[in-house]
Structures are given as C-alpha cells and as structure tokens.
Amino acid sequence: MTNDQLKAHISAFLRDYSIEITPHDAEKLDAIRAELKEGTAVYVAHPPGVPIDDIVTLAGRVQKLGLTATPHVIARKLESRDQLDHALARCQELGIKNALCVAGDITADKPAYDSSLEVLQTGLFKKYGFREVGVAGHPEGSKAIGEERVEQALRGKAEFAKTAGFDLYFATQFGFDPQPFIDWEAATAAKGIHLPIHVGMPGPASLRQLAKFAMLCGVGASMRMLTSRASAMANLLSTQAPDEMVTALARHKGENPQSRFKRVHFFAFGGVVKTARWANAVISGRFVLNNQATGFRVEDVN
C-alpha cells in the first residue's frame, strides 16, 4: 500500500465518525453543531445522578439541530418497565430513532433489568420505531463481568439481532492499542458473530486525562501501551492523539475490505469541539504521515 493510498484509507475511515457528549456540553451545542456535518451521530451519555428524562430532553435538542441523537439507555439505571416505556415514547415524539443500550453500573435501588439484552427483549425499541441500536463490545474484556458472561452476552445479542426488527451493532469500549480490536473482530467472526463494529477511541487529550479514564474503565492493554511511552509520561499535560490507532485500523480495513469496522466513535475526553476539529482535518486530508507511516501529524487545528 502506498502512502497516498494509506492517506486515502485514513480519511475514509473517519468520514462517518460519531462522537459523544455529556450533559456538561448542553450549553455548547451551537459550537459543537458548527463542527459537525449534517446527520452526524451524537451519543448522549448518561452520567450518575442525572434523570433519564433529562438525557432524552438533551437528545431531543441534538436531534433538532439536524444531528442523529443517540441517547444512552442504561439497563441497571432503570427502575421499571414503565420508566423505559416513557423514555422511549418520548424519543419517538422527538424523532429519535437511534440509541446505545448497555448494562452499566447498578445505580437504581432495585434495577428492573440486569443486562442490555433484557432491555432489548422487552420489544420497546421496536414498538417505538428505533432503526439502529448499539450494544457494548469489550475487545479488552470487562472488569465488571467475567469472560464467561461476556461470551454469553455476545452470543445472546447476536441471536437477538436476527429477529430484532432494527439494526444492531457493537459499540466498543475505547482503547489506544489497535491489536486487541483486530483480534476481537477475528475472534467474534470465528464464533459466527458478524454484527458491525463501531470502534471506540479517545479524541486528542492530555496523557493525564487518558490515563484517568483508562484506569476507570479497565482497558488494560491500552493502559500498558500508554505507560510504555516514557517520553510522553514525562509530560502528563502533553496532548496525545489517536493517530497511530487510526492508521493501523485504516490500514487493516484497506487490506481487508470485508472488515466489520464500520465507523469510529470518539470519546471526547479532551473536548468535543477539539476532537471534531481534529477528525475533520484528517477527513479533509490535512495531515502528514510520519516516516514509518505508522501515525501522522494533523496540520492547522485551532
């Protein structure tokens, strides 16, 4: 693959990226919208202490801006089927047809559901006209549940997808090391699981921010990759971009057209606008490959 071909694959790989916001970004929506193309999928995270109604309301604002709102629906935060029904009915009223459904941490006193599969099996996403729902993928494993339960969950979701009535895909936990993602794609395919994969990765952020979230989320291989960079560790405030991961996965996808890596999903730890500007520069070709063609430097990003 020539460098020009690789650059084209890199730009194409990011072209339909999605990005995540939190309620803290609510007052910045106009600035965020200015950086995103029409229809960009914007996930609305559901942090602790925030009612699901507030998440749906924020998602409605995102949808009204011409973006594709994708609110988080967290199984273990739901107190009843009625609460879920009400939230998804409101989504329908607001024109929201996409969601991310994950198990999450237990925060309800008596959660109505223990897993995302239980929520999917209620039939309420289909009832309220959802077109696409993401479910969790963990290329580096999950610290919350053991390997056996992860395996059961993967197979259960893949089986459910056959009769869901809407499209299902894996939205992975973020990482910094491409190899676990490539290995996980192959391992799931070997088990007969062929759902599309949206690859989670952090946008540009300080090493301190990245290390903090990596430790919280238990992405072990990626954490080891971060701490192996001695020169970067010397300056925890230096900005780290995911250029090496993007390059490796874009190369993999270019060499393997059947790859199920369909989209990059950015966790904007360093800021949503900053992440979007970086991604947009890459899409437009404003970047230079390093000498080994293993990463790149983006030009002219404010």
3-state percent helix, strand, coil for the chain, nearest multiple of 5: 45, 20, 35
Res 22: pLDDT: 95
The per-residue pLDDT for range 237-268, each reduced to its tens digit, is 467 899 999 999 999 999 999 999 999 999 99
pLDDT computed for residue 227 by the predictor:
53
Q: Say which residue, 292 or 225, is predicted with more confidence.
A: 292
Please tell me the distance from the alpha carbon of residue 109 to that of residue 113, in angstroms, as a whole number: 12
Q: Which residues contact 295 (CB under 8 A, 6 or more apart)?
A: 243, 244, 247, 289
pTM of the model: 0.91
Q: Write down the residue that tokens 């990005």 correspond to.
A: 19
How far are the Cα atoms of 43, 112, 277, 291, 300 from residue 288, in angstroms, in the given order? 30, 51, 16, 9, 11
Under the banding of pLDDT at 50, 70 and 90, the label for residue 140 is confident
Q: Which of 177, 179, 169, 200 has the alpha carbon at shortest distance from 267?
A: 200
> Using 50, 70 and 90 to split pLDDT, how confident is the model at 64?
very high
Tell me: domain 3-206+241-287, CATH 3.20.20.220, correct? Answer: yes
| Structure token pair of residue 149 | 């339960």
Assigned token pair, 68: 């594709």
Q: Which H or E run contains 199?
A: strand 197-202
**Averaged pLDDT for residues 112-134:** 97
Does position 224 have pLDDT exceeding 60, yes or no? no
